[in-house]
């Protein structure tokens, strides 16, 4: 059902994959995990490793999962995309079971949690996490974002890409 591919074989533009296609990120283990839609993220290279970064605001239910997990997954969906983003991007795991609402079937993959219905899965081993420091933000425009008027800045999570899987029919 899924074919393991090389990270160089990921199709599409890395910026568009986050900014336009808005994947979900799932943190945690099979017993206890939670995911959210993200638009902020990158794919690239750091410390000679292939890396993905994602950013989670402390107000999210996913935040504790992000801080304590060893691995996280980044997933894109084809037909289910709109439904998944409506639930994972606008509802909280505090209030609802998002995967049940979307009929997603979780399974363990390289230490991360993936969904059988995803079209592309990137599994990352978390190797760095850090709060974004307000004092280091050089852009007034960023500091003035309505999202930051509560004074709570995202934390950043860097994952080493350890597996990329593409659905084949
Ligand atoms: C298109 C879109 C992109 C989003 N990007 C991010 C993001 O990059 N980081 C983040 O912390 N929240 C982001 N959010 C907000 C979370 O997905 C949303 O607050 C979610 O309900 C949090 O779920 P949780 O409380 O279960 O963690 C985004 C929401 C949408 C709709």
Phi, then psi, of 12 in degrees rounded to 5: 105, 175
Whole-number Å distance, alpha carbon 72 to ligand 1 midpoint, is: 15
The pLDDT of residue 77 is 98
Q: What is the pLDDT of residues 111-121, one digit of tens each?
A: 999 999 999 99
Q: What is the pLDDT of residue 107?
A: 98
List the domain range (segments joined by +) for residue 93: 2-167
> Rounded mean pLDDT of the chain?
97
Distance from residue 36's CA to the centre of ligand 1 (Å)? 5
pLDDT at 53: 98
Burial class for 133, CB neighbours closer than 10 Å (0-12, 13-18, 19+):
exposed
Ligand 1 and 148: CB distance under 6 A: no
| Mean pLDDT to the nearest integer, 52-69 | 98
Q: Is pLDDT at 20 greater than 90 in this prediction?
A: yes
Query: Does 133 have pLDDT greater than 90?
Result: yes
| Ligand 1, atom 10: closest residue by C-alpha | 56
State residue 169's pLDDT score: 73
Q: Is the CB of 147 under 6 A from ligand 1?
A: no
H-type alpha helices, the chain: 14-19, 62-68, 81-88, 98-101, 140-143
With a 6 Å cutoff on the Cβ, whether 42 touches ligand 1 is: no
Q: How far is the CA of 31 from the centre of ligand 1 (A)?
A: 22
Nearest atom (ligand 1) to Cα of 40: 8
- For residue 28, what pLDDT band results from cuts at 50, 70 and 90? very high
- The number of domains in the chain is 1
Rounded distance from Cα 12 to ligand 1 centre (Å): 22
Query: Looking at the predicted structure, is the pLDDT value of residue 2 above 80?
Result: yes
Asked if the model's pLDDT at residue 91 lies above 80, the reply is yes
The CATH number of residue 110's host domain is: 2.30.110.10
Predicted local confidence at residue 76, as pLDDT? 98
**137 φ/ψ sector (left φ>0, alpha ψ -120 to 50, else beta):** beta
């Amino acid at each position: 059902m899924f074919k393991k591919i090389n990270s160089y074989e990921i199709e599409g533009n890395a910026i568009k994959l986050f900014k336009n296609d808005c994947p979900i990120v799932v943190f945690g283990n099979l017993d206890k995990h939670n995911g959210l839609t993200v638009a902020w993220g990158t794919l690239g290279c750091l410390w000679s490793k292939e890396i993905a970064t994602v950013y989670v605001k402390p107000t999210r239910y996913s935040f504790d999962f992000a801080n304590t997990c060893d691995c996280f997954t980044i997933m894109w969906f084809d037909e289910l995309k709109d439904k998944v983003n409506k639930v994972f991007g606008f509802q909280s795991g505090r209030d609802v079971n998002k995967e049940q609402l979307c009929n997603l079937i979780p399974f363990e993959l390289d230490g991360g949690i993936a969904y059988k219905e995803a079209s592309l899965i990137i599994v990352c081993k978390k190797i760095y996490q850090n709060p974004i420091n307000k004092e280091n933000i050089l852009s007034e425009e960023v500091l003035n974002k309505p999202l930051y008027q509560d004074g709570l800045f995202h934390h950043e999570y860097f994952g080493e890409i350890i597996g990329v899987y593409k659905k084949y029919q």
